[in-house]
């Protein structure tokens, strides 16, 4: 019922169109019901009254029928055209709401959801819903008027025949209800399997470079083949259910005619019905049966549309893990102090990743996080912009709990440079402007210079207007990295999180980017996740994360002197890199 109410709410903005659509549908049905009546009156009365009466009757009957059919055509036009437009408008509203919701949902949701499945919801589910939204009420309305109207007239013509027809129809409805349930299950399964195919395609295409570099096309084909095969099996089950449903219904429709001919013949033989009445009755059986067919098709549309709508509702009801508290305040005049007080965190219940972490980073300081892979460095950084919320303790920015701040103002104050830079399809300028949508040309050029991008821009025929390709595939790793730094120069955040952005680059690119990053870090609080310890020796403080806690802290010199975990890591890294075995990082 709730789902139904939610569905109906999408009609609200188009109430006028909706009721006009229903009105037109009612006119179409009324004309269809009137025709056999007129026919019955002509054959039963008018045509028996002699030529003069016939001529006289036709002089008003023909224009009246012409007007009826012109009005019906106009209504049909409205229903076909405006009705569809209304459906498309509702589909657009739902797609907008869904996209808005997807933008709101937090990292946690995307950790457990496949993007291929979401794409399928945005495209095919919504189309089916729109078809139902438009055709559903209108077809139901037309069908009910025709079925009830024609049945009432048939009862008036001959109630015994009418009851025979009603009895066969009841058996037919029972059969439909049973088959319908079976069909519904197969439609729901179909949707799941289509989502599976989408997920498989998106996953494989997004990783196409990895696939080809491993020459793993046959493996991908095998995985896709499985999803494809599953879809085929589901479709087969679906068509079997549909076959039984449609064949059964058509059989019962035939049975209706056989029953009427048989019972009508017997009644005519006993003189209880005239031939004219029987002919009119048969015409009404047509009016009665055709909407039954529409209702049957509507059932399929309803199954598809409603199972799509349930999936749509599922996402719309998803409450974002991270959202503004009702009394959240704006983070203003940001200084850039960051503190963790006894912070613990777990992605999954019972599997702690961080336990009782505490530290303070005064504004403008440069702190590095070091430690083995998987120790929780990235997780610590994710808690500051509230990509996830701490399960215990407090994360503070400028002394305020991040949970008490408006998300947009908090995230405006934080810039993140990731190892994996994501560039959007578009030009270099578009991607730089992502840091500040209203940036002027001069501001962009200034960011370009500061990020050491000038040489690249000068070397490209289209300069800033060069297309970067999907996810920036036409650019090198270093170039993408510099674009991501340029957009942070534009954003100008007070707090910087650097997930050691240069670890995948060659020495020359690294040197250029390190220079840009040093410029970017000036006057900001900077938290660097170090993968190579050589890059963090100048940090004001190094926090060594191990086993979900802070194992050591201090400057590089202090930690080397301490000769603990950090010193051991340094030695291992430099031995591997062929450097001094005593951890003698170039100082
Ligand atoms: N989205 C996630 N869902 C569930 N577990 C996660 C998620 N992200 C990370 N983890 C787990 O949390 C732990 C800490 O991961 P994190 O990425 O913070 O480590 P890290 O120190 O940054 O590692 P690296 O140096 O390799 O980047 C790991 O055990 C990891 O498997």
pLDDT, mean of residues 36-60: 79
Q: Could you tell me if 463 and 342 lie in one domain?
A: no
Atom of ligand 1 nearest to the CA of 531: 25
Q: Which residue minimizes the CA distance to atom 17 of ligand 1?
A: 378
Give the best-scoring range by mean pLDDT among 355-369, 438-452, 480-494. Answer: 355-369
Last residue of a domain, one of 317, 350, 374: 317
Tokens 């930690």 sit on residue: 559
Does 285 map to a domain? yes
Distance 393 CA to ligand 1 centre (A): 19
Place of tokens 């224009």: 63
Residue 525 pLDDT > 70: yes
In a domain, 322, yes or no: no
Whole-number Å distance between alpha carbons of 84 and 89? 9
Hey, what's the torsion of the CAs at 471, 476, 482, 487, to 10 degrees? Answer: -20
State residue 394's pLDDT score.
95
pLDDT at 506: 60
Residue 512 in domain: no
- Tell me the per-residue pLDDT of 159-178, one tens digit each, with 9 for 90 and over: 999 999 899 988 988 888 88
Atom of ligand 1 nearest to the CA of 348: 4
Give the per-residue pLDDT at 346.
94
Residue nearest atom 31 of ligand 1, based on CA coordinates = 374
> Do residue 395 and residue 343 come from a single domain?
yes
CA nearest ligand 1 atom 29, residue: 374
Q: Which residue has the tokens 């079925």?
A: 147
Among protein residues, the one whose CA lies closest to atom 7 of ligand 1: 347
Q: How far is the CA of 373 from the centre of ligand 1 (A)?
A: 8
User: Residues near 91 by Cβ (< 8 Å), separated by ≥ 6?
Assistant: 126, 127, 129, 130, 133
C-alpha to C-alpha distance for 232 and 248, rounded to whole angstroms: 24
Residue range 26-40: average pLDDT?
A: 85
CA–centroid distance, 97 to ligand 1, in Å, is: 32
Cα(351) to ligand 1 centroid in Å equals 12
Mean of pLDDT values over 550-559: 90
Nearest Cα residue to 221 out of 233, 204, 234:
204
Q: Which of 310-314, 367-371, 439-443, 576-580 has the lowest mean pLDDT?
A: 576-580
Q: Does the structure show a pLDDT above 80 at 357?
A: yes
Residues 403 and 439 in one domain: no
Mean pLDDT over all residues of the chain? 85
Residue 341 to residue 190: CA distance in whole angstroms: 50
Q: What is the pLDDT of residue 468?
A: 81
Q: Which 8-state DSSP code applies to residue 526?
A: E
To test the pocket of ligand 1, the residue of 344, 351, 374 to mutate (highest count of ligand atoms within 8 Å of its CB) is 374
Helix H, strand E, coil C: the string for 363-396 is: CCCEEEEECCCCCCHHHHHHHCCCCCCCCEEEEE
Select from 345, 357, 378 the residue to mutate for testing ligand 1; criterion: most ligand atoms less than 8 Å from CB.
378
Residue 441 lies in a domain: yes
Residue 348 has pLDDT above 50, yes or no: yes
CATH number of the domain that residue 429 is part of = 3.40.50.300
Residue 511 lies in a domain: no
Place of tokens 């494989």: 204
Quick one: pLDDT at residue 478? 80
Q: Are 376 and 391 in contact (CB under 8 A)?
A: no
Domain CATH number, residue 296: 1.20.1560.10
Task: Read off φ and ψ for residue 397, nearest 5 degrees.
Answer: -125, 125
CA 353 / ligand 1 centre spacing (Å): 8
Q: Which is the closest atom of ligand 1 to the Cα of 371?
A: 21
> Per the structure block, which two tokens stand in for 173?
């409805």
Name the residue at shortest CA distance from atom 26 of ligand 1.
373
Quickly list H helices, 13-50. 15-44
Q: Please indicate, yes or no, whether residues 355 and 215 belong to a single structural domain of this protein.
A: no
Among 317, 339, 357, which residue terminates a domain? Answer: 317
Number of domains in the chain: 3
81 and 177 inside one domain:
yes
Choose one of 250, 283, 317: the last residue of a domain.
Answer: 317
Residue with tokens 């109430």: 15
Per residue in 394-404, pLDDT (tens digit) is: 999 999 999 99
Domain residues for 424?
420-492
What is the reported pLDDT for 584?
Answer: 43
Strands (E), 371-521: 392-397, 400-401, 414-417, 495-499
The DSSP bridge pattern shows strands 366-370 and 525-529 to be parallel
**Strand (E) or helix (H) holding 446:** helix 441-450
439, 464 contact by CB (below 8 A): no
- Per-residue model confidence as pLDDT tens digits over 51-80: 888 888 788 888 888 998 899 999 999 988
Q: Does one domain contain both 216 and 74?
A: yes
Q: State whether 369 and 481 are in the same domain.
A: no
296/443 same-domain check: no
| Lining residues, ligand 1, CB within 6 Å | 111, 347, 353, 371, 373-379
For residue 510, tell me if it sits in a domain. Answer: no
Task: Quick: pLDDT tens for 265-307.
Answer: 899 888 888 888 888 888 888 888 888 878 877 877 888 888 8
For atom 1 of ligand 1, the residue with the nearest CA is 111
Classify strands 495-499 and 338-348 as parallel, antiparallel or unpaired. unpaired
Examine the domain organization and report whether 216 and 81 are in the same domain. yes
* pLDDT single digits (tens) 5-26: 898 899 999 999 999 998 998 8
**Most confident of the following: 194-198, 314-318, 339-343, 551-555:** 339-343
What are 43's two structure tokens? 């054959």
164 is a domain residue: yes
Q: Which residues, at least 6 apart from 582, have a Cβ–Cβ distance to it below 8 Å?
A: 571
**pLDDT band at residue 585 under the 50/70/90 scheme:** very low
Plot region of 140 (φ>0 → left; ψ -120 to 50 → alpha; else → beta): alpha
Tokens for 516, please give them. 């840009």
142-149 average pLDDT score: 88
Among 189, 183, 178, 192, CA closest to 298: 183
Distance CA 285, CA 154 (A): 8
**In angstroms, what is the span from residue 497 Cα to ligand 1's centroid?**
16
DSSP secondary structure letter of residue 345:
E
Say yes or no: 268 and 184 in one domain: yes
Taking the whole predicted model, whether its pTM rises above 0.80 is answered as: no
Q: What is the pLDDT of residues 473-523, one digit of tens each?
A: 778 878 888 888 889 889 889 999 988 755 555 665 667 777 778 888 888
Residue whose CA lies nearest to ligand 1 atom number 25? 373
**Residue 353 covered by a domain:** yes
Among protein residues, the one with the nearest Cα to ligand 1's atom 24 is 373
**427, β-bridge pairs:** 467
The predicted pLDDT at position 401 comes to 95
pLDDT in tens, 180-205: 888 888 888 888 888 888 888 888 88
Q: Do 248 and 185 share a structural domain?
A: yes
Distances (CA, A) of 490 to 74, 222, 422, 484: 58, 46, 17, 10
Q: Are residues 409 and 457 in the same domain?
A: no
């Amino acid at each position: 019922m709730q789902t139904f109410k939610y569905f109906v709410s999408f009609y609200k903005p188009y109430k006028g169109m909706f009721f006009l659509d229903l009105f037109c549908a009612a006119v179409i049905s009324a004309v269809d019901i009137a025709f056999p009546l007129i026919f019955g009156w002509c054959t039963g009365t008018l045509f028996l009254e002699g030529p003069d009466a016939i001529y006289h009757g036709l002089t008003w009957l023909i224009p009246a029928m012409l007007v009826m059919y012109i009005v019906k055509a106009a209504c049909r036009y409205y229903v076909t055209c405006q009705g569809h437009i209304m459906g498309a408008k509702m589909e657009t509203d739902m797609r907008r709401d869904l996209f808005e919701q997807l933008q709101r949902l937090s990292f946690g949701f995307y950790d457990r959801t496949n993007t291929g499945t979401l794409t399928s919801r945005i495209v095919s589910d919504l189309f089916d819903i729109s078809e139902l939204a438009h055709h559903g009420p209108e077809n139901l309305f037309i069908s009910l008027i025709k079925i009830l109207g024609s049945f009432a007239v048939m009862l008036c013509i001959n109630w015994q025949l009418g009851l025979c027809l009603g009895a066969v129809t009841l058996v037919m409805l029972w059969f439909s209800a049973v088959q319908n349930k079976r069909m519904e299950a197969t439609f729901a399964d179909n949707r799941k399997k289509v989502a599976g195919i989408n997920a498989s395609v998106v996953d494989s295409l997004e990783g196409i470079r990895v696939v080809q570099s491993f020459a793993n096309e046959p493996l991908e084909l095998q995985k896709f083949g499985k999803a494809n095969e599953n879809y085929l099996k589901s479709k087969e089950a679906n068509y079997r259910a549909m076959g039984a449903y449609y064949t059964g219904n058509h059989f019962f429709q035939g049975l209706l005619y056989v029953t009427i001919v048989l019972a009508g013949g017997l009644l005519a033989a006993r003189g209880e019905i005239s031939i004219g009445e029987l002919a009119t009755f048969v015409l009404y059986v047509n009016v009665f049966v055709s909407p039954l067919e529409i209702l049957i098709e509507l059932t399929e549309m309803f199954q598809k549309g409603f199972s799509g709508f349930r999936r749509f509702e599922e996402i719309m009801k998803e409450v974002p893990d991270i959202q503004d508290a009702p009394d959240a305040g704006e983070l203003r005049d940001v200084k850039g102090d960051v503190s963790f007080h006894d912070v613990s965190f777990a992605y999954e219940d019972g599997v702690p990743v961080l336990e009782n972490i505490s530290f303070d980073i005064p504004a403008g300081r440069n702190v590095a996080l070091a430690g083995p892979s998987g120790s929780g460095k990235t997780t610590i950084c994710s808690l500051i912009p509230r990509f996830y919320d701490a399960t215990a303790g407090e994360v503070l920015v400028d002394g305020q709990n991040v949970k008490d701040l408006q998300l947009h103002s908090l995230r405006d104050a934080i810039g993140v440079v990731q190892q994996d830079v994501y560039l959007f399809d578009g030009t270099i300028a578009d991607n730089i402007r992502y840091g500040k949508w209203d940036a002027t040309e001069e501001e962009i050029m200034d960011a370009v210079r500061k990020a050491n991008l000038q040489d690249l821009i000068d070397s490209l025929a289209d300069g800033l207007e060069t297309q970067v390709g999907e996810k920036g595939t036409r650019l090198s790793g270093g170039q993408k990295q510099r674009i991501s730094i340029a957009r942070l120069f534009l954003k100008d955040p007070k707090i910087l999180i650097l997930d050691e952005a240069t670890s995948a680059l060659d020495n020359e690119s690294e040197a250029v980017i390190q220079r840009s990053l040093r410029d970017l870090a000036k006057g900001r609080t900077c938290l660097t996740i170090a993968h190579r310890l050589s890059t963090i020796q100048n940090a004001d403080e190094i926090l060594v994360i191990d086993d979900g806690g802070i194992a050591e802290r201090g400057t590089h010199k202090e930690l080397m002197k301490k000769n603990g975990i950090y010193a051991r890591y340094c030695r291992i890294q430099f031995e591997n890199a062929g450097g001094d075995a005593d951890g003698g990082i170039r100082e």
